[in-house]
């Protein structure tokens, strides 16, 4: 059976894996209140999505 000629150390293996970068989340300003919101998500502050109310908080009616 085939086997590696020499063991790859933990340090060498980890150096090879360091080039992977996780993507940065897309954050934009809410069109209603201006707070930072992830794209394609309802705003946590005002409850609006694409200029329309999506969530009605208690006591706002």
What residue segments make up the domains of the chain, in order of their start? 26-61
**pTM attached to this predicted model:** 0.55
Cα–Cα distances in Å, from 35 out to 24, 46, 50, 54, 58?
18, 9, 14, 16, 20
Strand, helix or coil for residue 38: strand
pLDDT tens for each residue of 2-21: 777 888 888 888 888 777 77
- The pLDDT-based confidence of 61 (bands split at 50, 70, 90) is low
pLDDT tens for each residue of 27-54: 999 999 999 999 999 999 999 999 899 8
CA distance 37 to 42: 8
């Amino acid at each position: 059976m085939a086997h590696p000629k020499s063991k790859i150390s933990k340090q060498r293996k980890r150096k090879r894996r360091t080039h992977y970068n996780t993507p940065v989340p897309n954050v934009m300003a809410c069109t209603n209140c201006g707070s930072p919101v992830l794209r394609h998500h309802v705003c946590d502050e005002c409850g609006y999505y694409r200029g329309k109310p999506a969530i009605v908080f208690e006591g706002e009616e």
